[in-house]
Every structure is written in C-alpha cells, then in structure tokens.
Structure 1
Amino acid sequence: MKNLLTAVALCAAVLSAQAADKMAPAADKAPTAQQGKMATCNKDATGKKGDERKAFMKECLSSKQATQQNKMKTCNADATGKKGEERKAFMKTCLSGGKPA
C-alpha cells in the first residue's frame, strides 16, 4: 500500500513538473512585434474609454500607423546633429519617403 501511494505521489510530482516546464518558456521569450505594438498602444490610450478607446486602439494597431511610427523613429535618428531649417527640411523629405540630402 505504501508503494502504491509513493508511486502515485511520484507520478503527480512528475506531471506537475512537466506542466511547469511547458509554461516556463512563454515567460522566457521576448515579446513579439505585435505584443510590443499592443503595449505601446495601451500606454498611449491612457485616459480613453469606450468607443474612443476602441477606435484609438484600432488605428494604433494598424500596420500603417506602426509603419509611420517606425519611419518617424528612423528619421529622427538620422536627423541627429541637424538643427533649425536644415532639420525641418530633412524631416519633411525623410517622412515623405524621399531620399534626404
């Protein structure tokens, strides 16, 4: 009887460990691009409620919006060191998709 209880307890421990192993990799993985986009949009939607929030999240999560945000980040990084009218002209050209001078 003791052997049976020990075997059952051992099986339960093994199954529990296997279940924990299956859950652990999800926590170790880096967030996907979509998860990152969702986090950013959620942060930006602070204070919005109901239909306003729903509409904002739909627009924010669209690929067009994400592409524009990425383009802005890239152009800002490339404009480092430029000031005033030079920066303004560079950003206008860069954001419109033209080749900046």
Structure 2
Amino acid sequence: MLIGLMAGTLLATAAWAETAQQARMKSCNTEASGKDLKGDARKAFMKSCLSGGAQADGRAAQQQRMKDCNAEASSKALKGDARKAFMKSCLSGKKD
C-alpha cells in the first residue's frame, strides 16, 4: 500500500511539472507574440524565457501591460462585464 501511495505521489508530481512547463510555454509564447518577435530573435527569447532567464523581465512587462490596459479601460469609461472582457482581451495581447 505504501508503494502505491508513493507511486501516486510521483505521478501527481510529474503531472504538475508538465502543467507548470506548459504554463511557462504559453506565457513565453504570449510575451514573444506581444513583442512581435520572429525567426532567430524569437528562438533566442523563447530559450531564455523557458529557462527562466526572462522571468523578472516578464513580470515587469506584465505589470506594465496591466497598467496600460487599466489606463485604457478607464479612458473608455468601461465598467462591470465590459471592463472585465476588455481587460481579458488586452492582457492576453489580442487586438480587437
């Protein structure tokens, strides 16, 4: 029974690690797209980002994006669900 519990714990840990890596890949891809990177520049950025080298830069960029999106939502006088939808779109980097 103890072996089964340990195997289950290892599988759960492996599944979490995949999810964390997938989340990092998604975040790095979104950031690279937001910077309009192509070719070798994108490859270099992705390598750095996925290894964690761009984490601090990514946080600063995300904070700036949040400030910019908030300012734009306020200038459009968006409230409630309209603001929420705008912020989701703006923060994901999608253009309307």
TM norm structure 1: 0.37
Q: Compare CA radii of gyration and give the structure with the larger one.
A: 1
Flag the structure with higher helix content: 2
The TM-score, its normalising length taken from structure 2, stands at 0.38
